Amino acid sequence: MKAKVIIKLKDSILDPQGLTIHHALETLGYKNIESLRSGKFFEIELNVEDKEKASEIVDEICKKLLANPVTEEYQFTIE
């Protein structure tokens, strides 16, 4: 099974990288972009047959290592 994980800063947290990218895009002529937030993406290959077990493992990985619960939120899908 494969998990796809997206981690991003919470909406209440300032995203300086996103602001920098947004500014750079405006400089390149993309004036119609209202806002931009950056984040992280992970693909995790799991050697598990049960989708519920895979979901539990990925959730635990996100909580323990990939995401900072104070500043970030995450979502994932299992394929």
Banded pLDDT at 75 (limits 50, 70, 90): very high
Task: Return the pLDDT at 73.
Answer: 98
pLDDT digit string (tens) for 5-46?
Answer: 999 999 999 999 999 999 999 999 999 999 999 999 999 999
Asked if 5 and 44 touch (Cβ cutoff 8 Å), the reply is yes
CA distance 37 to 45: 26
Q: 50 lies in which domain range?
A: 2-78
Query: pLDDT at position 49, please?
Result: 94
CATH number for the domain that contains residue 68:
3.30.1280.10
Tell me how many domains the chain contains. Answer: 1
- pLDDT value at position 4? 98
Burial pattern 8-21, b for ≥16 Cβ within 10 A else e, equals bbeeeeebeebeee
